[in-house]
Chain A
Amino acid sequence: MAGRSKGRGRSQFTFSVDALGFGRGDSLPQSTHTPSPLFPPMQFRPVPLTTGEEVDYMLALKQELRASSKNLPFHIREARTKTDVARYSDKYQNGEPKNSTIEWSPDWSRLPKELCIKVRKPRKTLIGAKPLLQRKPKVAAGKEEVLQKLETLEKREQEHHSEEEEEEEKKKQNEEEEEPNVDEDYDEEEVEDETDYIMSYFDNGEDFGADSDDNMDEAVY
């Protein structure tokens, strides 16, 4: 009570003025009316960056890593939805990534089952009929499986099975092998394409089964 009557009527602060070191007469700093500036002027300039061979090398490494990581299959781009009319050339221009395929093949045994997605096989552009003829005997010279496959393909041509079943079979056969052999895949697709004009115009069946997202019990291979 006694203490309070000292400053009665005059300006009094909650803090002791003496301890702070400025007298009554000094004005308090002005209150701010605007937010502080975005880039306030600095009192001291920053120290220049260190230079040297090591620094330059690490800089080059960093930029290289950044550039190369854009080309790796880990850089995931969302597939663009086709707003245009579906064109025939789409079948031959499958450079675009699709949502339902993964561009690299991880070790699925180390990942939970629910993450399993079909691995996309790189589709090579058609080179021409000549390499195909050279390629066929070369590949067939190797394995019995390939011979079997060629026989089944021939049979299929003759029997005119529906395309979707063929796709399923081929994909299963591909998956049964230990590593997807790009050779054979290329062959099959080529052979299939050669007979395309005889078959009716169809969807190539890659989207079969990929749209059924809700059914989680089946692992999509």
Chain B
Amino acid sequence: MTTQEVRLCGLLLQEHFGDVVEKVGTHLIRCGVLTLRALAHETKLALDLVKKSLCVLMQHGMCTFGAGRRGPAGPVEYRISCERILHMLRYPRYIYTAKSLYGDTGELIVEEILQRGQMTMSSTVKTVADRLTHNMPEGQSMDYSEVVSAFSQLVETHFLQRCPPVASTGSSNSGAVDTPPPAVAQPSEPESHPDCYRVPYINLTGQGKRRRSSEDGEADQRAAKKAKVDNNECGDEGIFWQVNFERFHLHFRDQAIISAVSCKLDQTSGEIVRTMLRMSEVTTPANAAFTQALSANEIFRALPSNYNIARPILDQYLTLLVDDPMEFVGKTGDSGGGMYVVNLHRALANLARATLESVVQERFGSRSARIFRLLLRKRHLEQKQVEDFAMIPAKEAKDMLYTLLSENLVQLQEIPKTPDHAPSRTFYLYTVNQLPTARLLLQHCYKTIGNLIERRLYETKENKRLLEKSQRIEAILASLQATGAETAQLTEVEEMITAPERQQLESLRHHINKLDSSENQVDETIFLLESYINSTQASR
């Protein structure tokens, strides 16, 4: 774990779970694997607080436990997964995707499960139905069956998965108070469970309950308690569901490829690639370098009906896609009208390369970007050759090269002519390696988001007094409006905030929105670079 990653994880944990969990989490990231005792001792926190923090982290799937170095008889050891904490940056994107695919119901289901880490199906359905009912007009309520169907759809398309069962070695019974040490439970990979995507049968009927105001609170409480007593058993105790992040990442990757094709070629080509990806969703394993081969006949049949392209035109489009230098689509055979695949890893590499080039262009200008692209294509060039190929005057080219070199975006390779490495008799070649540069940029991105979060915290802290005042006044206004006050009273309360304070609040809100939005957008770059780096590791 690099410094920047640890810092960012710490900031994210602090934001969502508080200082205690942040201390425990960062210490566990730094030290790798620790037992409970060691963790409590080194962080100097109370043992109960450490236990609570570990429970929270495990509930959210960020921490796993296993038999320690001393085997099953020894104390349990805990480890944290850093990348799972970094996924917290992407929660809004997951929720928005669920909304675009499955509507408001899907959105709320994914949001609930993300916030709570893991949930049973019945509790999710009830909570989501209640929330939807709350937003509906009076008299209507959301039926549980609709939420159940949305949930099942999410499971069928693998966006949700069961939490892996915890296999305990030996019979560990809470009732047994005996001397042998407690059996250590080991969680396994979620995909290894055969029932990973099977929706359990639950007998849950009813409708969402509207949350009433406090006057009816008692009657509602009594009714709710009665309902709770009745609906305790829904048949799915112990089956917890979590969000399948890998599936969402595959979806984002597909979206990135389709939008790249649409931008580069045209909308129809984008649709063709979308069809190809959709057809091979189920058959392609997660880390495959390319999709399963699809024949042109199949693609033609599977195209959406509102795209009336004739068969020869489809063939032309496919040929165009294959000939494109971006190499998104490749041809692997001639049977069935031509067998075509989508080159996933190459597409990711090209997208990462485009990101790198764009970064250089925006930071150093278009001529530096030209040099960078040149070096990416031609691999190794001498300084003189760089000047000639890039068609840039020598002095400026030299300047730009040295700036890029000092930023570590370009590397220098020495090739000696003589064994004594005399400088006058050595070739100095400039080169760009895509993978290490991508890693460097990824670390820059982590640092950027860390800086953005810290700046936002600083801004909030600076204006804490003002924010609290405005919150109090909003609360007063809300309560006044609820009890039906006159407009004169409302304006009087509103005037408690002076005009310059209002302006200050407005600019503060604007700044914080900008910082938050920047975090979301830097996260998109992070996703692209991470996918590219992971794809290179998978193929090794």
What is A's interface to B at a CB cutoff of 8 Å? 3, 14-16, 18-21, 43-44, 46-47, 49-50, 54-55, 57-59, 61-63, 65-66, 68-69, 72, 74-78, 99-100, 102, 106-115, 117, 127, 131, 135, 138, 142, 178-179, 181-183, 210, 213, 219
CB closest residue in chain B, given A211? B48
B248 close to chain A: CB less than 8 A: no
Interface secondary structure of A, over-half rule: loop
Chain B, residue nearest A182 (CB): B225
Q: Are A76 and B56 in contact (CB under 8 A)?
A: yes
* Residues in A whose Cβ lies below 8 Å from that of B59: 74, 106
Could you list 16 examples of A-B contacts with CB < 8 Å? Answer: A16-B424, A44-B362, A44-B363, A49-B518, A59-B513, A61-B92, A62-B91, A62-B519, A65-B92, A69-B15, A72-B115, A78-B20, A110-B185, A112-B184, A114-B182, A183-B225
Q: Name B96's closest neighbour in chain A (CB-CB).
A: A58
Q: Are B47 and A213 in contact (CB under 8 A)?
A: yes
Chain B proximity of A32: nearest CB distance (Å): 13
CB distance from A63 to the nearest CB of B (A): 6
A residues less than 8 Å from B93 (CB atoms):
58
The chain B residue sitting closest to A181, CB to CB, is: B229
- The answer to whether B238 touches A107 (Cβ under 8 A) is yes
* Complex Cα spacing A58 to B524, Å: 12
Q: A66-B15, A68-B115, A78-B19 are in contact. Are A21 and B516 (CB under 8 A)?
A: no
Among B92, B166, B184, B398, the residue within 8 A (CB) of A21 is: B398
User: Taking the nearest CB of chain B, how far is it from the CB of A184, in angstroms?
Assistant: 10
* Pair A111/B423 contact, Cβ less than 8 Å: no
CA distance A57 to B48 in the complex (A): 39
| CB pair A99 B185 closer than 8 Å | no
B47, B65, B228: most-surrounded residue (chain A CB, <10 A): B47
Cross-chain contact B17 with A76 (CB below 8 angstroms)? yes
Residue B52 contacts which of A14, A63, A102, A109 (CB distance < 8 angstroms)? A102
Q: Who on chain B is nearest to A77 by CB?
A: B18
B52 touches A179 (CB 8 A): no
B527 at interface by CB-CB < 8 Å: no
Q: When A59-B517, A65-B92, A213-B48 are in contact, do A74 and B56 touch as well, CB less than 8 Å?
A: yes
B172 CB contacts on chain A under 8 angstroms: 113
The answer to whether A62 and B520 touch across the interface, beta carbons within 8 angstroms, is: yes
Establish whether residues A65 and B91, one from each chain, have CB atoms under 8 Å apart when the complex forms. Answer: yes
Q: Which residues of B contact A179 (CB under 8 A)?
A: 228, 232
When distances are taken between beta carbons in the complex, the residues of chain A under 8 Å from B75 are 114
Residues of B within 8 A of A117 (CB): 48, 51-52, 55
Choice from A69, A99, A138, A182 contacting B48 with Cβ under 8 Å: A99
User: A residues within 8 A CB of B163?
Assistant: 110
A100 contacts which chain B residues (CB < 8 A)?
48
Chain A residues in 8 Å Cβ range of B116: 72, 74
Residue of B nearest to A100 (CB): B48
Q: Which of A46, A76, A100 has the most CB of B within 10 A?
A: A76
Minimal beta-carbon separation of A6 from chain B (angstroms): 10
